[in-house]
Amino acid sequence: MYEFEYLRPTSLNEAAAALASSSEASLIAGGQTLIPALKQRLSRPSKLIDLGAITDLKDIRREGSHLIIGAMTPHAEVAASDVVREAIPALARLAGGIGDPQVRHRGTIGGSIANNDPSADYPAALLGLGATVVTNSREIAADDFFTGLFTTALNPGEIITAVRFPVPAKAGYAKFAQRASRYAIVGVWVAKVASGVGEVRVAVTGAGADGVFREGGLEKAFSLSATPETARGVKVGPDGLLSDIHASAEYRAALIPEMAARAIVDGWGGGG
């Protein structure tokens, strides 16, 4: 690690001001991605602005047909939250399946989506539910937020404050985990959104060469009948998918329908 100035603001405005004060300043949330990069001297911020003391950012609440999760909420709290379990149980399960206990107790939803790792779990839920990312200056639809590998629509100096999820009629998630890190090799989120009649959204993480994406073929098939059999009947090709030491594009392509089938079982309890 190189030396840096460490700041722990107690308000969002203070944090934003500190962030604006230097182009080399960086926010730190759970530190699960940032600290390894610092330790390996891959990143050299002048200031680290810890969001941990801003209590407003750590909050889970239901507002009518929406579930709101503060950016600094650690995965373990999402997994254990009664409010989340009641509103979107699959989201609690997704959070409970991230990494390992240490990671779940430090890593945050804000840090996860800001980082937009192509194998992270949350992006699938955000895209698959059509959630909204709330920042200190605006609101960004999930469809517009994830713009590519490790890149997002966030502007420099912008701070995520919360994510607003519409509560769906049904939603399920299944991930095929990489055995070392437990990140997703393929993670599929399937949701029947309450408003749009019959509309089923399917978001895939871990597999796309450009990060999380919606899988049109599965969405179409599910809008007619959301069953595991339907999922398994859909062919997904390897084009545009990642190939790495953990899985080839062909294998990922084969896993997508299977994980979609398991997501249906997860969220629909096996029936359509």
Partner 1 sequence: MSEQGIGAAIERREDERFLKGIGTYTDDINLEGQTYCYILRSPVAHARIKRIDTAAAAAAPGVVAVFTSDDLTNDGVGGLPCGWQVTSKDGEPMKEPAHPILAAGKVRHVGDPVVAVIAESLRQAKDAAELIDLDLEELPAVVDMKAALAGGGPAVHEDVAPNNLCYDWELGDAAAVEAAFQNAAHVTKIDLVNNRLVPNAIEPRVAIGDYDAASGAHTLYTTSQNPHVIRLLMGAFVLNIPEHKLRVYAPDVGGGFGSKIFHYAEEALVTWAAKKIGRPVKWVAERSESFISDAHGRDHVTHAEMAFDANGKALGMKVETLANMGAYLSTFAPCVPTWLHGTLMAGQYATPAIHVNVKAVFTNTVPVDAYRGAGRPEATFVVERLMSKAARELGLDQTEIRRRNFIQPDQFPYDTPVAVQYDTGNYEASMAKAIELADYANVAARKADAKARGKLRGVGVASYIEACGIAPSSLVGALGARAGLYEAATIRVNPTGSVSVLTGSHSHGQGHETTFAQVVADKLGIDIDQVEIVHGDTDRVPFGMGTYGSRSIAVGGTAIVNALDKIIAKGKKIAAHLLEAAEDDIVFENGAYTVKGTDRSKAFGEVALVAYVPHQYPLEELEPGLEETAFYDPKNFTFPAGTYICEVEVDPRTGEVEIASFVAADDFGNVINPMIVEGQVHGGLVQGIGQALLEHAIYDENGQLVTGSYMDYAMPRAEDVPSFKVTTTSTPCTHNPLGVKGCGEAGAIGAPAAVINAICDALAEYGVDHIDMPATPEKVWRAIQAATPAAAAE
Ligand X SMILES: Cc1cc2nc3c(=O)[nH]c(=O)nc-3n(C[C@H](O)[C@H](O)[C@H](O)COP(=O)(O)OP(=O)(O)OC[C@H]3O[C@@H](n4cnc5c(N)ncnc54)[C@H](O)[C@@H]3O)c2cc1C
Point out which residues bind ligand X (CB under 6 A): 26-34, 51, 71, 75, 98-99, 103, 106-108, 110-112, 114-115, 120-122, 159-160, 181-183
Residue nearest to ligand X (CB): 111
Taking CB within 5 to 8 Å according to partner kind, which of partner 1, ligand X, none is near residue 112?
A: ligand X
How many other CB atoms are found less than 10 A from the CB of residue 101? 11
Query: Binding of partner 1 at residue 238 (CB under 8 A)?
Result: no
Residue 206 binds: one of partner 1, ligand X, none (C-beta under 5 to 8 A by kind): none
Residue from 155, 180, 216, 271 binding partner 1 (CB under 8 A): 180
In angstroms, the CA 129 to CA 139 distance is 15
| Contacted by 179, from ligand X, partner 1, none: CB < 5 to 8 Å by type | partner 1
Choose between 99 and 166: whose C-beta lies nearer to partner 1: 99
Q: Of residues 41, 156, 216, 269, which one binds partner 1 by CB under 8 A?
A: 41
Is 234 near partner 1 (CB under 8 A)? no
How near is the Cβ of 187 to ligand X at its closest, in Å?
8
Query: Would you tell me how many other CB atoms lie within 10 Å of the CB of residue 43?
Result: 18
Query: Which tokens belong to 262?
Result: 């398991």
Q: Facing residues of 175 across strands?
A: 187
Q: How many Cβ atoms are within 10 Å of 270's Cβ, its own excluded?
A: 10
The rounded distance, in Å, linking the Cα atoms of 169 and 163 is 19
Q: Alpha carbon of 66 to those of 53, 117, 153, 181, 240: distances in Å?
A: 25, 25, 22, 31, 33
